Structure 1
Amino acid sequence: MASSSVPSSQPARPPRPNLAFRRLRGSRSPAEFAAAVRRAAREIGERVSCDARYVHRVEAGEIRCPNYAYERVFLHMFPGRTLTDLGFAPRSSVRGRRTGAAGGRPENPADATSETSGACEPYETHDRYDTYDEYDPHDHEESDVLRRAFMTGGATVAAAALGPYGLVPEAPAAQRPVRRAGSTDACALEEAVRRIRVLDDRHGADGLYRRAAAPLRAAYELLNAGAVRQRTADRLYAGAGELAISVGWLAHDSGRFDDARSHYAEALATARVTGDPALEAHAFCNTAFLARDAGRPREAVRAAQAAQRAARPLGSPRLMSLLALREAGGWAGLADRAGCEQALVRAQAYFDRGPAEADPEWMTFYGEAELEGLEAQCWSTLGDWPRAARHARRAAELQNPHFTRNLALYTAELADDLARGGRPDEAAQAGMRALDLLSDVQSSRVRSMLSGTSRVLLPHRRTSGVSEFLDRHASLPRMV
């Protein structure tokens, strides 16, 4: 582990925008360019967690030189160019190295100037669940699990204001005052998390994800600015981690799995840095859910078990119930019926203990309807369509209408289970109800489920109601 000591002084001048890198992005959005970076990384066997926020930071000049993993990816994307051609500073100028030093390593890291300290990309780029045959200590030194991102200062650090819904883009860096964060900022950050969750519950993720990136960037600038009091700092860390999870969920629900993975990893790193078991349990919970949806059931089991270890001292049976369901979903994906059933029994037993004061605020969605819905998904994965349909129907009947997105999800689940269970007429009826809900809900996840149902029902077009459902589904506008 690299030394945790960092200079306390601020840079003498603001970062210079990287115009060369911006030109290379061209007409692509930051998110589209980040996706291209991740694809290029996979082509050469690298693993980087590039997202739109990283691209923004490079273009703003906050990252004067990328770490070694990103360097290899960028040079692969733009063959024949050097780092300086891409607008970055020479590595020796930002790492405190002296020309000719053995192995290119700094003679003494403590001698690095305040101008260059923390100038390299500090974020973890590798997947924490995987191991690699080759280990580059330089990469580890440069990532260091978000620590330098939060501990080092910058000339343009500011507490950017979050709008009433936490969805207002931040002002240009030159227009933002440099100050330390206070309790008002912590309250604004916490409110942004609540507002995003409420809007997602009602309308789904697709229309929110891009708008939520701005408050997430603002949240980490608040952390970087520092807080007046330790209690405020603790609230900021917890709020930023929860916001990263919320934005990750918006990416998850809208089908952007790589972006979601990056945000969840960021939240998990924040939890580890601050020693926050509640945030760690939440991050692992969502990581398990994502792994299941992305077809990595063994990772889902491991992440859910890690979440349970973190959550056990918190005193929330409902949280433990949800985490047991996440584990059950992983076992179902592995076709381990016994493991799935054991986890489902634990989930029900924890749920029956009732609510507690220690239940996290973010778990307002978790009630009997969600318990039934998640169990339905387990039986569906195991191919037990009649049992899956029973639980999905009960989930839809129990769901509070406020959670419109979840109601659409359970109804779509019911339609799919009925279709695969050989009941096409009932499946079409449920599918029509789900389509009605899509007028208020934007969720790629729900739409994807209905697309699968329509494919199953195609051979039954002449069955009562099926043709109407297929025609209406085919007329849905394509998502942008």
Structure 2
Amino acid sequence: MTKQRNAQLDALITEFGFSHQALADEVNQTAERMFGEPTLCTDRHVRRWISGDVQWPWSQYLLPLQSIFGRSAEAMGFVPRKSSRVPAPPRKPAETRDTSSWGRREFIGAGLVATLGLDGIPVNGRLGATDVERIRKVVPTLYRHDHALGGGALHGIAVHALQRVHHALDRCSYGDRMGRALYAAAGDLAASAGWFAYDAGHQEAATKLYNRALQAGILAGDGMLQARVWSNLAMQARFLQRHQEAVHIGRAAIESRQAKGNAWLMALLHCRQAVGHARMGDRVRAERSLARAETAYDRRSGQPPAWLSFLTAAELTGLAGAAHQALGRHGRAQDLTVAALDMLEPRFERNRVYYTAQHARALLDGGEIEQGVERAEQAFTLAGRVNSERIVGKLADLRGEARRFAHVPAAADFLERTQERRT
């Protein structure tokens, strides 16, 4: 068999934001969930698949790869031999299925693929209003699970859906008016996929997806979509410690005509600007942005789009707590974060972890060490239910803060208990 580079697999790895080693680790973890024991996949295996040295991997690698990317072996660029076949995954007794932490996330994620209706998107012919509606329904379906599962469980699914949509856009026909509607729907999906990638810790992939969403927004003439993407890019810049850039991007989003006409979006943008100003030490602008966020939130009407469904009074209060924490007002940050946690609905599992960790940090910074590490322990316990690298990073920062107080027995015990714990 002639050796040929597997460009399809290489493109998938880039699209999903994996390094060679990260994909090997994911294969091992997925295999452990499938077979009950890990494989010995390494970055060398991944390089050999890409180079074409191995054109049909062993089933112990192939089945996990199909699960990770949501594609058949051939769709990943592998070339079967005459005797090649993909065996069925091993059957596990129903009573042993793990519906907490990873098992729960993978089970729901696998079920989601079947409910998105992607098979109904044409691969040729003419696209119409029914197809626009089918694409638009994907995003609310994904977001119904995002708040509980985290972006790590949904990123790959969203990217796969987006690829199906762009395949149709490239190969089917449609008029100008329908084209704008299709690109608006595709942009909504791309922006959502970008958010899931961001939450999953795949920042390069998130940036590419945001740029794709921005391009779709321009093609669709959808200013609201463009403002949404600018908002997400500002949040990403702040996450990457580029605080001044985040404030400038956020200001551009606020000044857009579409944002000014949507109270839901304006409330979110002003809240995020408040945190940005606070991290730059600008108390006056932070307080002004918080006041404007409250005013905008009071003017909202109707229901928010799916991607803004997290924006509740609890979220605004929690973001206000984050701003005060950044300003060094630890007591006020504690009060606001506790209020946010009290108001938070049960469906927002990831945000409950996030604000529990925020409360712990405010307690530690305020000198209440024993209460802080107790709260931090709660955050670590809750975190096992979500798949979010942002949460992992926040908990790592929390441990780093607790190390400052390692001479306090409660902090020392906390550090020892969480040393080997996976979140």
User: TM-score normalised to the size of structure 1?
Assistant: 0.62
Partner SS for 2:418 = helix
1:311: how far off?
4.8
What is aligned with 2:229?
283
User: Quick one: distance in 2 between partners of 1:23 and 1:358?
Assistant: 41
**Range 455-464 or range 387-396, more displaced:** 455-464
User: Shift of residue 445 of structure 1?
Assistant: 1.1
Q: Which structure 2 residues correspond to residues 454-465 of structure 1 after superposition, within 5 A?
A: 454-461=399-406, 463=408, 465=410
Is 1:449 paired with 2:394?
Answer: yes
1:146-172 deviation line (CA, Å, top 9, x unaligned)? xxxxxxxxxxxxxxxx9444497x89x
Deviations along 1:321-346, whole A, 9 cap, x unmatched?
A: 11111222222232222222221111
What is aligned with 1:372? 317
What is the RMSD of the two structures over their aligned residues, measured on CA atoms? 3.1
Provide structure 2 residue ranges, at least 5 long, that are not aligned to the other structure.
Answer: 21-49, 51-111
- Give the alignment of 1:238-387 within 5 angstroms: 238-312=184-258, 315-353=261-299, 355-357=300-302, 359-387=304-332
In 2, distance between residues paired with 1:242 and 1:23? 25
The answer to whether the 8 A contact 1:415-1:428 is kept is: yes
Taking the aligned partners of 2:274 and 2:257, their CA distance within structure 1 comes to 17
Question: Separation in 2 of the partners of 1:33 and 1:373?
Answer: 30
Once the two structures are superposed, the pairs formed by residues 21-32 of structure 1 within 5 Å of their partners are 22=7, 29-31=13-15
User: How far does the alpha carbon of each residue in 1:89-127 deviate from its partner, in whole angstroms, 9 at most, with x for none?
Assistant: xxxxxxxxxxxxxxxxxxxxxxxxxxxxxxxxxxxxxxx
Which residue number in structure 1 is paired with residue 33 of structure 2?
none
Pair 1:31–1:316, CA change in 2 (3 A)? closer
In structure 2, do the counterparts of structure 1 residues 388 and 25 end up closer, same or farther at CA, with 3 Å as the change threshold? same
2:180 touches 2:219 (CA, 8 Å); kept in 1?
Answer: no
Q: Distance in 2 between matches of 1:273 and 1:410?
A: 38
- Are the counterparts in 2 of residues 414 and 430 from structure 1 also a CA contact under 8 Å? yes
SS at match of 2:337: helix
Return closer, same or farther for 1:269/1:411 CA change in 2, 3 Å cut-off. same
2:380 equivalent in structure 1? 435
How far 1:210 moved relative to its partner? 2.4
CA contact (8 A) 1:271 1:280 kept: yes
What secondary structure, in the 3-state scheme, does the structure 2 residue paired with 1:366 have? coil
Deviation, 1:286, is 0.8
**In the TM superposition, what is the alpha-carbon distance from 1:467 to its structure 2 partner?**
4.3
Distance 1:305 1:358 in 2: 25
Q: In 2 relative to 1, CA 167–382 (structure 1 residues): closer, same or farther, beyond 3 Å?
A: farther
Contact 1:311 1:319 in 2 (8 A): no
Shift of 1:411: 0.8
Q: Name the SS of the counterpart of 1:365 in structure 2.
A: coil
Counterparts in 2 of 1:463 and 1:350: CA distance versus 1, 3 Å: same
Greater displacement, 380-389 / 437-446? 380-389
* In structure 1, C-alpha distance between the alignment counterparts of 2:151 and 2:418, rounded to whole Å: 20
Choose the corresponding residue for 1:423, options 368, 378, 389: 368
Distance 1:25 1:363 in 2: 34
| Aligned 8 A contact 1:205 1:251 in 2 | yes
Q: Distance in 2 between matches of 1:347 and 1:302?
A: 17
Contact 2:338 2:359 in 1 (8 A): yes
Aligned pair 1:206/2:152, yes or no? yes
Q: Point out the structure with max Rg over C-alpha.
A: 1
Deviation (angstroms), 1:447:
1.8
Partner of 1:407: 352
CA apart distance, 1:281: 1.4
* Unaligned ranges ≥5, structure 1: 1-17, 37-58, 60-161
How does 1:148-167 map onto structure 2 within 5 Å? 163-166=113-116
Is the CA contact 2:369–2:405 (under 8 Å) kept in the aligned structure 1? yes
TM-aligned CA deviation for residue 230 of structure 1: 5.3
Aligned residues: 330
How far apart in 2 are the matches of 1:398 and 1:464?
32
Aligned position for 1:93? none
- The TM-score normalised by the length of structure 2 is 0.70
- CA displacement 1:167-186 (0-9 Å, x = unmatched): 97x89xxxx84222233332
Structure (1/2) with the larger helix percentage: 2
Relative distance call for 1:313 and 1:193 in structure 2 (3 A) is closer
| Cα drift, residue 215 of structure 1 | 0.6
Identity %: 29
Q: Which has the higher contact order (CA 8 A, sep 6+)?
A: 2
Counterparts in 2 of 1:342 and 1:220: CA distance versus 1, 3 Å: same
Alpha-carbon contact 1:411-1:434 (below 8 Å) kept = yes
d(CA) in 2 for partners of 1:273 and 1:217? 18
CA distance in 2, matches of 1:313, 1:457: 40
Residue 448 to residue 219, structure 1, CA distance change in 2 (3 Å): same
CA distance in 1, matches of 2:418, 2:117: 31
Match 2:342 to one of 381, 391, 397: 397
Deviation at 1:453, TM superposition (A): 1.4
